[in-house]
């Protein structure tokens, strides 16, 4: 790719192992967009208003709902949704689509989800494609875990992914969201987390992908 690539992360920690590599790259810009959907949406939109990119690559850690994506696993997110966009009433969660407050096919949504349409880019990553859910607080409650997993079909959870998908689809910018699993959702014993391994694996795959995409015609 002759044009620039934008690497987006919520925190410096998530891409810290890439510092030496990134300092040598002229066609890669880095955006530390902050934690949560609002911060990511604002800073990403602001950056895209300043400059256009051939690709926006979001790299970060995540929690997993499924055993098939154990801590340390790196995945690419094929679709996203906002897990806390709706209501909790009498112990039951409903989305804005369930409440008929919004159409599930109103852009940028398709069937109530934020689909990455760039299948070739996802295939080129060589990573397992997953469904994600984004929420502005870390999930710990068992009933919420069940809702995200069983009702929304989420395999991983982050605090920024849906914001990337929303903005990039609306701005018609090619994008990828790459996540390394650091823990199982709901597990609060950090001794069981694989934070160090997830950051290391994330850096390895992110560097590989940046090298790949910067050399594509």
Backbone angles phi, psi at 94, to 5 degrees: -135, 140
- Per-residue model confidence (pLDDT) at position 166: 98
What topology does CATH give the domain 60-203? Rossmann fold (3.40.50)
- Per-residue model confidence (pLDDT) at position 17: 97
Q: Output the pTM of the full model.
A: 0.94
- Per-residue model confidence (pLDDT) at position 186: 85
125 in helix, strand or coil?
helix
Categorize the per-residue pLDDT at 149 as very low, low, confident or very high, splitting at 50, 70 and 90: very high
Position with higher pLDDT, 64 vs 193: 64
- Decide if pLDDT at 107 tops 80: yes
Average the pLDDT over 21-45 and give the result: 97
Percent of the chain with pLDDT over 70: 99
- Per-residue model confidence (pLDDT) at position 1: 55
Categorize the per-residue pLDDT at 43 as very low, low, confident or very high, splitting at 50, 70 and 90: very high
3-state secondary structure 16-57: HHHHHHHHCCCCEEEEECCCCHHHHHHHHHHHHHHCCCCEEE
- Decide if pLDDT at 91 tops 90: no
Using the structure block, give the residue that is written with the tokens 């990455």: 116
- Decide if pLDDT at 187 tops 90: no
Position with higher pLDDT, 170 vs 145: 170
What integer best gives the mean pLDDT of the chain?
A: 94
């Amino acid at each position: 790719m002759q044009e620039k690539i934008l690497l987006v992360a919520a925190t410096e920690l998530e891409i810290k192992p890439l510092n030496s590599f990134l300092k040598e790259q002229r066609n890669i810009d880095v955006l530390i967009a902050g934690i949560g959907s609002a911060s990511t949406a604002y800073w990403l939109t602001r950056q895209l208003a300043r400059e256009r990119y051939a690709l926006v690559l979001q790299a970060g850690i995540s929690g997993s709902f499924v055993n098939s994506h154990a801590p340390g696993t790196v995945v690419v997110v094929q679709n996203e949704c906002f897990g806390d966009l709706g209501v909790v009433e009498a112990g039951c969660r409903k989305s804005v689509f369930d409440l008929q407050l919004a159409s599930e096919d109103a852009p940028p949504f398709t069937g109530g989800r934020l689909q990455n349409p760039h299948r070739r880019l996802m295939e080129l990553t060589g990573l397992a494609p997953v469904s994600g859910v984004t929420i502005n607080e870390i999930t710990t409650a068992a009933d919420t875990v069940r809702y995200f997993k069983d009702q929304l079909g989420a395999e991983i959870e982050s605090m920024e992914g849906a914001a990337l998908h929303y903005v990039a689809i609306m701005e018609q910018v090619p994008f990828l969201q790459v996540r390394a699993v650091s823990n199982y959702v709901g597990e609060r014993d950090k001794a069981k987390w694989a934070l160090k391994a997830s950051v290391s694996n994330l850096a390895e795959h992110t560097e590989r992908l940046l090298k790949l995409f910067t050399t594509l015609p």
